[in-house]
């Protein structure tokens, strides 16, 4: 009975030890995945905030420059509604004189309100300091009667005298508009916070707010130690345990934070843990029933011998066939028994009843094998990974697991199980090396793409914008030197400046991806072609055939980029006058065909450069097919076939 009970306790110990480790590992992995997800969201929130601030500042700078030239004659309504510049989504723009009185506004009703912002703190800042961008904390707007965030710049004439300021007010919800369609849990948190603890904008689930004071939050202690990181704490407003990721923005007094409640993160883990505990209890119960049956069998005299022999045979079968080394050690550390796997593992000959200690089985162990003396159970080996140097010169890495075992004579022995994990270690190391190699390759590719993008922007600015600005400079110098025809020279300078604005806008549109979730693929392509036609003499004929099947965002973006790349190639190299573009679908594929009447080229020749390689890479990324038909003097025909995404991908796809 004692032996059976000891075996039951040992097996239960091993089962529940492994089960507990597995559950703890699952919990740690679940938390790590949630933290990584929050970190990614924090990066996206940071980038969206920076873009919003930069767009607001660019609008302030441009309108300020126009106001210094035109004065009160500046038509803000025409300028902002004509599409000359792309402005962020704001809720009011004003220009004041040196006393703070609003002299120009958008919308026009802001002027009729006879507002004076001379008492606002940001106005006082502009009076004392040189021109700089000032961002306020949320406060009550006199025109909107709700909290707003104001971006402003001072206005000074060419003598440096203060002439007023220009300001844009944004609702705090504008910073969270990027996530308006996101599926957030009720306790998920996204927030933008000032360094002194006042929230610029905050979204909790689908609820938005601003202006809260969270100075007591441990966030600021973590930010003081490092600008980017993660931590676990109770939410400063709702007191809910939450995993937070944060990023302190460079050059802006803003901290972007994303939080997910502990209950949401571990909800599915708790369900899995319950199933694992149920499984462990079932195994323990089955093991108990089995051993109870054996005990009852021992009480039957006639079956005692048969049951003992069967049990011994089962034990010996497991002992002999096990791939792990199994050793039974006496209280003095000498080997009482070992299985064939242990003999092979240590490179020994058959024991033949030799009386040797466990430490004599190998030449050296790194680290040294430690013995643990537990009161009431005797000696056992410390669980650990050990590099064994065998007596025959071989070596292997083994994981030791041991437990005390008391036999029928009340002798306290030790059961040792050693698993050879050498191959597992090698595979793990190889996988880590491959991951590092892949990361290096990916980093190089990102750097090459960035340099290529910068070179392209540099060429565009030098070849187009710089030339136009040089012409404007010459016209203005002529106007200063000649009284006759001065108005004409100034008018020409303004025309060329408008052309420069158009070129920069065109460059901005070509570098920006289509707005996901707000335009379909067809609308985005139509806008691309109209923009190219406006900037060039190219006539683009766009037709849509049978197009009924929705496709995913990634496939749609790939088709858009392929079209953009090919149209750019035509404009730069083909000297074409007409381009025909067709978009259609079959049951399984989406087809895009672009054909021009340009000078053509030899496929695979000198014109098969980065542009066509980019197209080929995008097609291969989606397991698609493409072909290029061209010859000198006969134009070029690009045909692309991309397969539709599967149903799982369509669940989150809303841009088709």
HEC-encoded secondary structure of 91-130: CCEEEECCCCEEEEEECCHHHHCCCECCCCHHHHHHHHCC
Side-chain-facing half-sphere of 326: CA atoms under 13 Å: 12
Structure confidence by residue, pLDDT tens digits, 218-254:
999 999 999 999 999 999 888 999 999 999 998 889 9
Report how far residue 234's alpha carbon sits from residue 230's, in angstroms, rounded to the nearest whole number: 13
Q: Which two tokens stand for residue 96?
A: 């004041």
pTM: 0.44
pLDDT at residue 604 is higher than 70:
no
Residue 653's pLDDT is: 36
Q: Select the highest-mean-pLDDT range: 41-55, 523-537, 605-619.
A: 41-55
Report how far residue 335's alpha carbon sits from residue 357's, in angstroms, rounded to the nearest whole number: 5
- The model's confidence at residue 649, banded by pLDDT at 50, 70 and 90, is very low
pLDDT at residue 584 is higher than 60:
yes
Q: Which parts of 536-639 fold into alpha helices (H)? A: 553-569, 610-621
Report how far residue 357's alpha carbon sits from residue 348's, in angstroms, rounded to the nearest whole number: 14
Please state, for a pLDDT cut of 70, what percent of the chain lies above it: 86
The owner of tokens 């609308």 is 523
pLDDT at residue 622 is higher than 80:
yes
Respond yes or no on whether the N-terminal peptide bond of residue 367 is cis (omega within 30° of 0).
yes
Give Cα 537 to chain centroid, integer Å. Answer: 41
Give the DSSP H or E segment for 39: helix 2-70
pLDDT at residue 592 is higher than 90:
yes
Structure confidence by residue, pLDDT tens digits, 10-47:
888 999 999 999 999 999 999 999 999 889 989 988 99
Q: Which two tokens stand for residue 606?
A: 């000198």
Q: Confirm if 388 and 362 have CB atoms less than 8 A apart.
A: yes
Ordered by start, the domain boundaries in the chain are 53-174, 513-656
Give the DSSP H or E segment for 396: strand 395-406
- The model's confidence at residue 85, banded by pLDDT at 50, 70 and 90, is low
- The model's confidence at residue 184, banded by pLDDT at 50, 70 and 90, is confident
- Cβ burial, residue 256 (10 Å; 0-12/13-18/19+): buried
Report how far residue 612's alpha carbon sits from residue 542's, in angstroms, rounded to the nearest whole number: 21
Neighbours of 368 (CB within 10 A): 10
In terms of CATH, what superfamily is 53-174? PAS domain (3.30.450.20)
Name beta bridge partners: 651. none
R_g of the chain computed on alpha carbons: 37
Pairing between strand 539-544 and 578-585? Answer: parallel
Q: Which two tokens stand for residue 69?
A: 């030239």
pLDDT at residue 453 is higher than 80:
no
CATH 3.40.50.1820 given to domain 513-656: no
Residue 353's pLDDT is: 46
Report how far residue 96's alpha carbon sits from residue 99's, in angstroms, rounded to the nearest whole number: 7
Q: Confirm if 414 and 429 have CB atoms less than 8 A apart.
A: no
Q: Confirm if 584 and 543 have CB atoms less than 8 A apart.
A: no
- The model's confidence at residue 648, banded by pLDDT at 50, 70 and 90, is very low
């Amino acid at each position: 009975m004692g032996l059976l009970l000891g075996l039951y306790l040992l097996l239960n110990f091993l089962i529940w030890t492994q089960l507990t480790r597995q559950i703890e590992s699952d919990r740690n992995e679940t938390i790590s995945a949630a933290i990584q997800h929050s970190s990614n969201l924090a990066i996206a929130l940071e980038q969206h905030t920076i873009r919003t601030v930069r767009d607001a500042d660019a609008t302030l700078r441009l309108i300020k420059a126009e106001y210094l030239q035109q004065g009160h004659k500046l038509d803000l309504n025409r300028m902002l509604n004509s599409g000359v510049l792309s402005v962020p989504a704001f809720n009011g723009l004003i220009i004041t004189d040196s006393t703070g009185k609003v002299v120009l506004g958008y919308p026009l009703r802001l002027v009729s309100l006879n507002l004076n912002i001379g008492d606002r703190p940001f106005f006082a800042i502009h009076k004392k300091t040189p021109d700089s961008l000032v961002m306020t904390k949320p406060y009550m707007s006199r025109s909107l009667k709700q909290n707003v965030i104001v971006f402003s710049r001072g206005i000074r004439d060419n003598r440096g005298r203060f002439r007023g300021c220009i300001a844009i007010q944004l609702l705090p919800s504008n910073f969270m508009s990027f996530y308006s369609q996101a599926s957030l849990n009720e306790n998920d948190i996204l927030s933008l916070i000032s360094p002194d603890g006042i929230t610029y904008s905050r979204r909790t689930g689908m609820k938005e707010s601003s202006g809260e004071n969270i100075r007591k939050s441990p966030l600021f202690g973590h930010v003081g130690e490092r600008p980017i990181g993660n931590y676990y704490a109770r939410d400063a407003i709702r007191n809910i345990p939450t995993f937070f990721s944060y990023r302190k923005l460079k050059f802006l007094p803003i901290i972007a934070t994303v939080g997910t409640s502990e209950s949401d993160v571990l909800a599915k883990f708790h369900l899995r843990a319950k199933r694992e505990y149920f499984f462990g209890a079932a195994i323990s119960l089955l093991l108990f029933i089995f051993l109870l049956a054996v005990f009852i069998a021992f009480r039957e005299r006639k079956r005692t011998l048969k049951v003992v022999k069967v049990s011994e045979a089962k034990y010996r079968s497991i002992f002999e066939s096990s791939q792990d080394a199994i050793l039974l050690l006496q209280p003095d550390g000498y080997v009482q028994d070992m299985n064939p796997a242990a003999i092979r593992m240590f490179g020994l000959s058959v024991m033949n009843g030799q009386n040797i200690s466990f430490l004599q089985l190998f030449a050296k162990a790194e680290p040294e094998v430690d013995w643990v003396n537990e009161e009431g159970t005797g000696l056992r080996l410390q669980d650990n990974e050990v590099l064994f140097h065998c007596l025959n010169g071989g070596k292997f890495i083994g994981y030791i697991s041991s437990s005390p075992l008391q036999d029928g004579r009340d002798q306290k022995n030790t059961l040792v199980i050693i698993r050879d994990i050498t191959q597992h270690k090698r595979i793990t190391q190889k996988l880590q090396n491959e991951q590092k190699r892949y990361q290096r390759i990916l980093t190089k590719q990102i750097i090459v793409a960035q340099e290529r993008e910068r070179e392209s922007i540099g060429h565009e600015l030098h070849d187009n914008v710089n030339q136009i600005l040089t012409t404007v400079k010459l016209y203005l110098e002529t106007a200063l030197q000649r009284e006759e025809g001065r108005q004409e020279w100034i008018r020409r300078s303004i025309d060329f400046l408008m052309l420069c604005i158009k070129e920069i806008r065109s460059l901005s549109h070509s570098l920006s991806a289509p707005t996901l979730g707000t335009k379909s693929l067809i609308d985005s392509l139509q806008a691309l072609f109209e923009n190219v036609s406006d900037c060039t003499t190219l006539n683009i004929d766009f037709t849509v055939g049978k197009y009924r099947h929705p496709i995913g965002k990634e496939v749609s973006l790939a088709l858009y980029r392929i079209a953009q790349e090919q149209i750019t190639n035509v404009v730069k190299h083909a000297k074409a006058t007409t381009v025909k573009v067709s978009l259609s679908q079959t049951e399984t594929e989406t087809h895009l065909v672009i054909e021009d009447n340009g000078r053509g080229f030899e496929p695979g020749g000198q014109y098969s450069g980065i542009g066509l390689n980019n197209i080929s890479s995008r097609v291969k990324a989606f397991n698609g097919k493409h072909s290029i038909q061209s010859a000198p003097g006969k134009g070029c025909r690009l045909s692309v076939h991309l397969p539709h995404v599967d149903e799982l991908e369509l669940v989150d796809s809303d841009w088709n």
